[in-house]
Amino acid sequence: MDHFLYKDGALFAEDVPVAEIAAQVGTPFYCYSTATLERHFRLFDEALDGTEHLVCYAMKAASNQAILKTLAALGAGMDVVSGGEYARAKAAGVPGDRIVFSGVGKTRDEIREALTGGIRQFNVESEPEMAVINAVALELGVKAPITVRVNPDVDAKTHAKIATGKSENKFGIPISRARDVYAHAASLPGLEVVGIDVHIGSQLTELEPFRLAYQKVAELTEALRADGHNIKRLDLGGGLGIPYERSNSAPPLPIEYGAMIKDTLGHLGCEIEIEPGRLIAGNAGIMVSKVIYVKEGEDRQFMIIDGAMNDLIRPAMYDAHHDIIPVVEPAPGEEPARYDIVGPVCETGDTFAKGRVMSTVKADDLVAFRSAGAYGAVMASEYNTRPLIPEVLVKDDQFAVIRRRPTFDEMINRDTIPEWL
């Protein structure tokens, strides 16, 4: 459930008419709902009720400071994957002991930054990385808390570009080598082993791959404890999918996911961490765009809008579906039309939908892309020298621009001219 609903024939974000935001901010823009963000965070938090746990929001999904502050106020931890994200989490007031650091390519500088500023744990992805974390910790005279990310070799049954738990993926160490790697970790004086980490992919629409992976983590926990390691924490990653198409069957709910976690891992007495990103932010955001032209092709109609692939790359990159709805509610019984919905960027890949059946639109009408809150604004670029589009946060009947649209001058002035020109 989200808080983008029609009321009296117009699309609202909570209690604010979307058209009113468009009139003030201009299009295109992203719009997030505070109530939806909060609701989704709480669903996860409550799903793990009765178990010691921390929900670490995977902030790569949507990392605006206002979003981070909204979630941090509810007690969220953060999963960061770069020094920049670490800095963002700290800037939003998240304490270091609620930040976990994931990713296959953490640099020395990033590791030093996190050890100095405070970190809950590094999720280590390789032995070379483990050696560097150990070295940096020794330089600083501290112990670095770590888990090792294991790759359980399970098929997440999701898009190949976002599957991370198969042996051919770059992530983690093969689970079959875990005992050797933990033995090595225990021999390094700059490290403190605190648990195990796993993350098998994103937009999973079934529980079964999670269950298979978590069963392997349960077995590994017992084996590692028998080897004398202190496994007190299990970081289970993110990945629970969202319903991008309202008409399709819905993925499992957080409460079902939480029950499965307790079922497979509850007997171990570990603190549980989870790292949901998409499910918290995805349906908490829409992208609003304006129709520029409706163009008659030979055998199709093109709806050309002012949003483009640089603003929302998911359709071009993952063949992703977004429901696209008019901001003025279609009248009941209205005859639908069929459109190829495209942006102005000079690439055929700049196509959001082909043959999409929806109500008739004309130039200057507004449309909203649902489920655009995660992996939307954060993946945007300035391709075609299109400014990064604004982000707006709604709370009840108020809204605020939480990142403004840059001017062309600001964009151009980031370039510098070498002295020979």
Ligand X SMILES: *Cc1c(COP(=O)(O)O)cnc(C)c1O
Interface residues with ligand X (CB under 6 A)? Answer: 58, 60-61, 79, 81, 102, 199, 202-203, 237-239, 275-279, 374
Minimum CB–partner distance for residue 315 and ligand X (Å): 17
Determine if residue 239 is labeled as part of a ligand binding site.
yes
Residue 153 or 306: the one with the smaller Cβ distance to ligand X is 153
Beta bridge partners of 196: 148, 234
Phi, psi for residue 333 in degrees, rounded to 5: 80, 0
375 is in an annotated binding site: yes
314 is in an annotated binding site: yes
CB 244 within 8 A of CB 322: yes
Give phi and psi for 230, each to the nearest 5: -90, 90
Using the minimum distance from each CB to ligand X, give the nearer residue, 38 or 79: 79
Question: Shortest Cβ distance from residue 342 to ligand X (Å)?
Answer: 27
Residue type for position 360: T
Kindly state the smallest distance separating residue 102's Cβ from ligand X, in Å: 4
Return the number of the residue (34 or 203) whose C-beta is nearest ligand X.
203
Q: Give 3-state DSSP helix, strand, coil % of the chain, rounded to 5.
A: 35, 25, 40
The answer to whether the CB of 267 falls within 8 A of the CB of 245 is: no
Q: Residue 346 catalytic?
A: yes
Query: Under a CB-based contact definition with an 8 Å cutoff, are residues 326 and 359 in contact?
Result: yes
Task: Identify which of residues 53 and 290 has a Cβ nearer to ligand X in the complex.
Answer: 53
Shortest Cβ distance from residue 100 to ligand X (Å)?
9
Q: In sequence order, what E strands does 370-416 have?
A: 391-395, 398-403
Nearer to ligand X among residue 12 and residue 32 (C-beta)? 32
Q: Out of 31, 56, 270, 346, which one is annotated catalytic?
A: 346
The minimum distance between CB 60 and ligand X, in angstroms, equals 6
Evaluated on CA atoms 224, 206, 124, 147, the torsion sign reads negative
DSSP 272: E
Question: Residues 350, 322: contact at Cβ < 8 Å?
Answer: no
Query: Which residues are designated catalytic?
Result: 346
Q: Residue positions in the annotated binding site?
A: 239, 275-278, 314, 318, 347, 375
Q: Which residues are annotated as a binding site for pyridoxal 5'-phosphate?
A: 239, 275-278, 375
